[in-house]
Homo-oligomer: A and B are copies of this chain.
Amino acid sequence: VCEGVRAVEELLRSPLAVKGALVSPALAGAPRGAALRERLDAAHVPVVEVSDREFASAAGTESPQGVLAVAAVPPRALDALDLPPRARVLVLDAIQDPGNVGTLLRTAAALGADAVLAMPGTVDLWNAKVVRSAMGALFHRPALPAGWEAFDAFVRGRGIPCWGADAHGDPVGAAGAPGALALLVGNEGAGLSDAARARCARLVSVPIAAGVESLNVAVAAGILLYQLRP
């Protein structure tokens, strides 16, 4: 389920199969709302019209823009991922906040990561709030859940080294960057899990000021992905 004008625009631009949409009169008043309604019709998406009040009961946002669409979760498999030789894969290790996961997906897409993997303990990638925060990134780039055994087979089979983000790791500026890379980022409070740590050939950090506990996980991942770009 994908909500809001911008998200539904992105959905229509993507290869995902849109099953239907729910719209309310509020859509006509939203910026680009009328144009979006035309595009839904042009794409032959079945549209159900409801009142603003009925829409509010289906919407997850506080100020709904009068449009939400339902699409099929794309069938994606780890062993079918098509990756370049200098692939960047962002690996989410038990990231629990949907807003963080959405921002991580958006960040990974913007900084050229080829895929995002959600490891055990990570919130559902297709949670409505993740979809909203991801701003369309979920619709265009591969993102899929994975277990640790499948992950091991994946990185071993493709020869992708694993690095982990950790406050006590080597400062990223000094770390250079490998050809391909799987970058593991850990839970907001607890950091990398033991399972994740055991798989990391190297730990890297963003050096931060004394007395400050940590960076937000999406900000840290952004700096690391940028620094470690191929």
Contact = CB atoms under 8 A, between A and B. Distances in A.
Nearest to A223: B226
A92 to B, nearest CB: 15
A43 B229 CA distance: 48
Contacts of A136: 213
When all copies of this chain in the complex are counted, the total is: 2
Given A222-B219, A223-B226, A226-B223, A112 B209 contact: yes
Interface residues of A, number: 28
A129 to B, nearest CB: 12
Contact of A212 (B103, B137, B226): B137
A102 to B, nearest CB: 9
Interface of A: 99, 103, 106-107, 109-112, 135-137, 140, 206, 208-209, 211-216, 218-220, 222-223, 226-227
